Amino acid sequence: MDRVNAKAAALFAAKETRRRKLAGLPFPDKVQAVVRLQRMVAPLWRARGRQVHVWKIEGTDEVPTLYGCRAGV
């Protein structure tokens, strides 16, 4: 049981570290992350019949990466 608790504690610590790292990003990077997430979810919403509007901003024409984040972020 202690191994499970240790693993859970490690996962929660990693989650907190990632959240703090993302919170420290400059505002333009945060907006780009939101646009990437919008692009990832848009096909799902459209398939369900919802109208979707993805923000159009400079620097977000690339294909979304896994989880909508840059490597190492």
Residue-level pLDDT at 9: 95
Domain segments of the chain as ranges: 2-68
Q: What is the pLDDT of residue 37?
A: 95
Average per-residue pLDDT in the chain?
84
Mean pLDDT for the stretch of residues 35-46? 96
Q: How many angstroms separate the CA atoms of 31 and 23, rounded?
A: 12
- Region 56-62: mean pLDDT is 69
Which tens digits make up the pLDDT trace of 5-22?
999 999 999 999 999 999
The structure's pTM equals 0.62
Alpha-carbon torsion (65, 35, 37, 44), positive or negative: negative
